[in-house]
Amino acid sequence: MSADVAIDDWLKGLGYGSSEARSTARVTLEAAGLTRQGKQRLSNEKLARARAVLSEQLYLHCQSAECVQAAAHSGKLSVLCEPKPSCQSCGGSDNQRAAHDFVAAFGRRRLCIVGGSPSVWEELERLFGAQLELRLVDGTQRRTVDHAKADLEWADLVLLWGASELHHKVSMQYTNAGPAQKKKVLHVTRRGIAQLLAAGLEYLRRHSA
């Protein structure tokens, strides 16, 4: 097994696909004393440190406006990534970016989503992981007043996903809540996870202003 790697190939694998991005990364590594000008290979024992230096100083991002903005606010030097899945903000996914932005605004709090399908719930659980407490409610199954009340008392925000599988008899258990509980309920008519979370993000920003 080789004890070193070709620097250019290694950088491409991290997302520094363009020659300009690799040049920026190389300058960063040289400044940290991990390589020198003209050297083509990097020892395996230096890879972890090299990766840490790049992560600390550079922010890889795609061309989407949201990700460019995230890079600008990162305090790091922004570098255009290639391919897109190496973007540190969205990972090449609109859903990932939307979840990242939502969690940043919401914090480690309790979110209840009423509606959606099993496959969508799996994706939401994957996107959020342990970043917040998540409760997912089947919008096609009968929900009693007591169950809805418990959801409202538990959650910091309830998203009623009207564009998904959500029966009116289920949603009305939440919309008919008292004034204090209604403040934390948002009815969303947009389709797709990214659009659902974007609506939630807009709500959070309005209520934090």
Return the amino acid letter for 17.
G
| Same domain? 197 vs 102 | yes
Q: What is the per-residue pLDDT for 1?
A: 53
Q: What is the per-residue pLDDT for 115?
A: 92
Residues pairing with 80 in the sheet: 61
| Same domain? 24 vs 124 | no
End-to-end CA distance of the chain, in Å? Answer: 57
| Same domain? 164 vs 191 | yes
| Same domain? 69 vs 168 | no
- How far is Cα of residue 65 from the mean position of the Cα atoms in its chain? 15
| Same domain? 99 vs 76 | no
Which of 57, 86, 115 is the last residue in one of the domains? 86
Q: What is the per-residue pLDDT for 180?
A: 76
Number of domains in the chain: 2
Residues pairing with 158 in the sheet: 112, 185
Residues pairing with 111 in the sheet: 134, 157
**Distances from the Cα of 87 to the Cαs of 126, 182, 184, in angstroms?**
18, 37, 33
Please report, for the domain that includes residue 116, its CATH number: 3.40.50
- How far is Cα of residue 36 from the mean position of the Cα atoms in its chain? 36
Domain carrying residue 116:
94-208
| Same domain? 169 vs 124 | yes
| Same domain? 112 vs 173 | yes
| Same domain? 110 vs 204 | yes
What token pair was written down for 199? 């609506």
| Same domain? 40 vs 141 | no
Encode the chain (209 residues) as per-residue pLDDT tens digits.
Answer: 568 899 999 999 999 999 999 999 999 999 999 999 999 999 999 999 999 999 999 999 988 887 888 888 889 999 999 998 888 877 777 888 889 889 989 987 999 999 988 888 998 998 898 889 999 999 989 889 999 999 999 999 999 998 788 898 999 999 887 777 878 999 999 888 989 999 999 999 888 75
Residue closest to 197 by CA, chosen among 108, 133, 101, 126: 101
